[in-house]
Amino acid sequence: MKQLPVQIIKKKRNHIELSDTEISDFINSYVAGDIPDYQMSSLLMAIYLNGMSTNEIATLTKVMQESGETFNFSHLHPHVVDKHSTGGVGDKTSLILAPIVASCGVSIPMIAGRGLGHTGGTLDKLESIPGFNTRLSEDDFVSIVQEHGFAIMGQTQNICPADKKIYSLRDVTGTVESLPLICGSIMSKKLSEGISSLVLDVKFGDGAFMKTTDQARALAELLKSTGEKNKVNVTALLTNMSQPLGKYVGNALEVKECYEILSGNKDPLYQDTFDLSIALSSHMILLGKKADNFDQARQLATESIESGKALACFESVSKAQGAQCKMNEIPLPSNFIELKASQSGYIQQFKNEQIGYLGIKLKAGRKLHTDNINHLTGFEFNVKIGDQVEAGDVLAKIYYDGEGNAAKVLEELKSCIEIADKKTGPVQLIVETLT
Amino acid sequence: MKQLPVQIIKKKRNHIELSDTEISDFINSYVAGDIPDYQMSSLLMAIYLNGMSTNEIATLTKVMQESGETFNFSHLHPHVVDKHSTGGVGDKTSLILAPIVASCGVSIPMIAGRGLGHTGGTLDKLESIPGFNTRLSEDDFVSIVQEHGFAIMGQTQNICPADKKIYSLRDVTGTVESLPLICGSIMSKKLSEGISSLVLDVKFGDGAFMKTTDQARALAELLKSTGEKNKVNVTALLTNMSQPLGKYVGNALEVKECYEILSGNKDPLYQDTFDLSIALSSHMILLGKKADNFDQARQLATESIESGKALACFESVSKAQGAQCKMNEIPLPSNFIELKASQSGYIQQFKNEQIGYLGIKLKAGRKLHTDNINHLTGFEFNVKIGDQVEAGDVLAKIYYDGEGNAAKVLEELKSCIEIADKKTGPVQLIVETLT
């Protein structure tokens, strides 16, 4: 390291762009334990407050990726694609789009996360299938992708150790909510997958981290430029998270919804999950060069469901990852209480983030990384923004397990669904596509 | 502590003013070891970049002061005054003003520092008097102040431990040059002295930390408001540091200059040191309520030198602090080489900061806290900005000890004194007084 760490900190502090070498020296020395936490946290706060250029972010991302191992799927390029969602309430599209896209000939090596705060996580949902193993060895991960078209597992010790170490520090030093650092954390893991292309589902609205379309667009553009500077093609969708996606929120319940959609169930309450899954799948198929245009990709995606190929693909991966039963055989909750409309009118809005946090009270989600969750609990929503309801109609069900505090959650959920005299909506699900 | 440390960090990050309790909780928990360095460094960078209100700074200062002991001189109030200088090249006024002011009946409990970087330090100068002990016990410090009117020592473990711990961290996390943190560090130590009033010598120009009068005024106002919010009256002078103060730079050489001035030597090369010492002394006497107005204070200060009272006071303190000889008996350097003018003209400017750093090459100063210094080396300057010189005139002498690298320093010093055809200056020494 040619410069002292403090000199690099001072540069960022003074709004001077860091060079590739400065970024890699600092990060690599930190991972090696040669730079202490107190210097990294000082740099992180300087990055939080002074930002980073797109070049700095691309380099940070690459360096974090290269702190660990990268899967080699280059022999499958350009047909290796993944999707990343910035997180929401009831967002279960990964379980639908992965088998759709894989059954169309595109490989998806998906490293996914767990739920935290008000948002759910793909790994937790999959683990509501008895036996489903999300802690694969790297060899198993590769061979399942190669044989079945996709595999889904969690981050291992070998993947982006820099991200792991930096993320723990950000958590306790007030430097989590930084676009450059969020971007580096997301994209380094995606780059580690060895993909050729990536589709991003950047959510906005009350149930998303980004509250407005402008914020979501800024993040989408940053993620896209970071991917592209690192030779990964990126398409980003800005999608609405102002109401729960689909009918169910909660782990086993969401798997049930995925099963229903993959089986061709046309319940209108599944419509938004279906539409978003098909849109994301189509972009993945297009980027994965298995279609010449979007309409053709869309047709392939739809046919994959109608023919049953997607469901079969899911079941074969599920079995390969250890599942002891089929999707429609998983344990589901049986206890529920109903939330009924206290007045007639039109569904005006959801307090969607609060709904996500209510899930934590049912143990469907977790507050801290270390919390345990209950796969059986959750919500069923029978209405969408713009729907007309009569007083007494069932708006939602709260599924609980054992004694629980469902009655208390019911009381709070009441204030999360607003009914008004005047009709609003319906909500536009996909508002922008950045290609 | 009611809030998590990360919540306090986030507030400062988000430009929200911290409450007194938040500041004291954070600092006290840090000193107690309950908050780790990495959280403190994150907060320090947020303070560096987002600043602090004058209320926050006053509280920070008070909390840092109260992390340790404060001397109790309240029985001598309002006649307990100190001076603080922000540091310069050849700045030896403490050794002159302390005996002047003390001999006029004002007590001065002075906690001073060592030289670092291009600026000199009072303790190093005093230690060129054989036997002079700057590591007094707190009891001895108090009794010398009470008996002789002043005493000068370094910061002890019991004085502002928060400042000591935070300063070491700032040094390696790029958070040194922050006005709120500089202010907290300076003023917490001064408050610990138990003084009633303080005179500040805030320097600007090439040889000072603040390069412009505007920067110096901003620091002066902050220091003044911080003192006053903590019930210490403050007068601040903005003074010019664009050329070395007085004739000598270097530890023993500066003691010699102080002796000469206290003895009434009217060498015009001592004029600026004399003028500044008298001005600072007069403000101290005035704040110490030993004069009714500035002119009267000034007369008292001048008379204190003329009568020999100031010199006698210095010698009595010096003896009390362990000195084995009088001021005019200290070892002085005998080896020197001369820098002669390469052309005729007028002295245009000094590269004063560079001169300070050249002192380090002679070991008259130190680069790191841990470096040893040589008390015998230094510079003599025979010219001031605006002076007319003939080619071949001696501009300066370099005093060295042993073999040394005086010839190399001479070469570099050449470029530090600029001669031009057109007369400039003379420099206005004191440009502003904030009362």
Instruction: Assess whether B189 carries a catalytic annotation.
Output: yes
Sites in chain B below the pLDDT cut of 70 = 1
Both structure tokens of A410: 């019911």
Instruction: Kindly provide the residue ranges of all beta strands, DSSP E only, lying in A48-141, ordered along the sequence.
Output: 81-85, 108-112
Q: Do A10 and B174 touch (CB under 8 A)?
A: yes
Of A9, A45, A172, Cβ closest to residue B13: A45
| Mean pLDDT, chain A, whole residue set | 96
Q: Which residue in the list B124, B163, B206, B401 is annotated as catalytic?
A: B163
Q: Do B45 and A46 touch (CB under 8 A)?
A: yes
- Residue A387 predicted with pLDDT over 90: yes
Which residues from B are below 8 Å from A42, CB to CB? 41-42, 44-45, 173-175
**Closest listed residue to residue A11, CA positions, set B37, B49, B174, B47:** B174
Q: Do A41 and B46 touch (CB under 8 A)?
A: no
Catalytic residue IDs of A: 84, 163, 170, 185, 189
Of B9, B173, B174, Cβ closest to residue A174: B9
> pLDDT value at position B115?
85
CA atoms within 13 A on the CB side of B142: 14
- Residue A1 predicted with pLDDT over 70: no
Q: Does residue A78 have a cis bond before it (omega within 30 degrees)?
A: yes
Which residues from B are below 8 Å from A38, CB to CB? 36-38, 40-41, 169, 172-173
- Best A11, A13, A16, A42 member to test B by mutation, with max B CBs in 10 Å, is A42
Condensed to tens digits (0 to 9), the pLDDT of residues A194-251 reads: 999 999 999 999 999 999 999 999 999 999 999 999 999 999 999 999 999 999 999 9
**Chain B, nearest residue to A177 by Cα:** B10
Q: Do A173 and B37 touch (CB under 8 A)?
A: no
- Residue A403 predicted with pLDDT over 80: no
CA distance A39 to B170: 10
Q: Which residues contact A107 (CB under 8 A, 6 or more apart)?
A: A73, A76, A79, A80, A81, A145, A146, A149, A150, A288
Which residues from B are below 8 Å from A30, CB to CB? none
CA distance A160 to chain B (A): 22
Of A42, A169, A174, Cβ closest to residue B173: A42
Which residues from B are below 8 Å from A18, CB to CB? none
> pLDDT value at position A60?
98
Cβ neighbours around B119 below 10 Å, total: 24
Give the per-residue SS3 of B105-164: CCEEEEECCCCECCECCHHHHHCCCCCCCCCCCHHHHHHHHHHHCEEEECCCCCCCHHHH
Q: Do A44 and B42 touch (CB under 8 A)?
A: yes
Amino acid at B227: G
Q: Do A173 and B42 touch (CB under 8 A)?
A: yes
Longest dimension (CA), chain A: 71
Which residues from A are below 8 Å from B37, CB to CB? 36-38
Instruction: Assess whether B84 carries a catalytic annotation.
Output: yes
> pLDDT value at position B405?
86
**Chain B, nearest residue to A172 by Cα:** B6
Which stretches of chain B sit within 8 Å of chain A by CB?
Answer: 5-6, 9-10, 13, 36-42, 44-46, 48-50, 169, 171-175
CA distance B18 to B180: 13
Which residues from B are below 8 Å from A10, CB to CB? 174
Of A5, A6, A45, Cβ closest to residue B42: A45
CA distance B144 to A353: 67
- Best A9, A13, A41, A44 member to test B by mutation, with max B CBs in 10 Å, is A41
Which residues from B are below 8 Å from A50, CB to CB? 49
Please name every residue paired with B337 in a beta bridge, in sequence order, or none if there are none.
B398
Condensed to tens digits (0 to 9), the pLDDT of residues B226-275 reads: 999 999 999 999 999 999 999 999 999 999 999 999 999 999 999 999 99
Q: Do A9 and B44 touch (CB under 8 A)?
A: no
Of B38, B50, B171, Cβ closest to residue A41: B38
CA distance A30 to chain B (A): 13
**Chain A, nearest residue to B36 by Cα:** A38
Both structure tokens of A402: 């054992």
**Chain B, nearest residue to A48 by Cα:** B13
> pLDDT value at position B369?
80
Give the A:B interface size as CB pairs under 8 Å: 80
CA distance A393 to chain B (A): 42
CA distance B181 to chain A (A): 15
Q: Which residue in the list B79, B84, B190, B363 is annotated as catalytic?
A: B84
> What's the whole-number mean pLDDT along residues A82-91?
96
Which residues from B are below 8 Å from A9, CB to CB? 45, 173-174
> pLDDT value at position A41?
98
Condensed to tens digits (0 to 9), the pLDDT of residues A304-353 reads: 999 999 999 999 999 999 999 999 999 999 999 999 999 999 999 999 99
- Best B6, B7, B29, B41 member to test A by mutation, with max A CBs in 10 Å, is B41
Strand order in the sheet with A335-340: A248-249, A378-381, A394-400, A335-340
| Whether the Cβ atoms of residue A414 and residue A355 lie closer than 8 Å to each other | no
Instruction: Assess whether B163 carries a catalytic annotation.
Output: yes
Of A13, A38, A171, Cβ closest to residue B37: A38
Q: Do A42 and B45 touch (CB under 8 A)?
A: yes
CA distance A266 to chain B (A): 46
Q: Do A174 and B6 touch (CB under 8 A)?
A: yes
**Chain B, nearest residue to A14 by Cα:** B49
CA distance B175 to chain A (A): 8
Q: Do B41 and A42 touch (CB under 8 A)?
A: yes
Q: Do B50 and A49 touch (CB under 8 A)?
A: yes
Which stretches of chain A sit within 8 Å of chain B by CB?
Answer: 5-6, 9-10, 13, 36-42, 44-46, 48-50, 169, 171-175
Q: Do A172 and B50 touch (CB under 8 A)?
A: no
Task: Give the DSSP letter string of A370-415.
Answer: T----TT-EEEE---TT-EE-TT-EEEEEEE-SS--HHHHHHHHHT
pLDDT class for A3, splitting at 50, 70, 90? confident
Q: Do A45 and B46 touch (CB under 8 A)?
A: yes
User: What DSSP character marks residue A433?
Assistant: E
CA distance to A84, A144, A150, A152, per residue, from A109 (Å): 12, 9, 6, 7
Is beta strand B378-381 parallel, antiparallel or unpaired with respect to B248-249?
A: antiparallel
Is beta strand A417-420 parallel, antiparallel or unpaired with respect to A345-350?
A: antiparallel
Q: Do A174 and B38 touch (CB under 8 A)?
A: no
CA distance A39 to chain B (A): 5
Percentage of residues of chain A with pLDDT beyond 90: 92
CA distance A65 to A183: 12
Q: Which residues contact B370 (CB under 8 A, 6 or more apart)?
A: none
Give all domains of chain A, ordered by start, each with its CATH number: 5-51 (1.20.970.10), 74-157+167-328 (3.40.1030.10), 333-420 (3.90.1170.30)
CA atoms within 13 A on the CB side of B25: 14
Q: Do B49 and A44 touch (CB under 8 A)?
A: no
Both structure tokens of B430: 């004191």
> What's the whole-number mean pLDDT along residues A270-299?
98
Q: Is B336 helix (H, G, I), strand (E, B) or coil?
A: strand
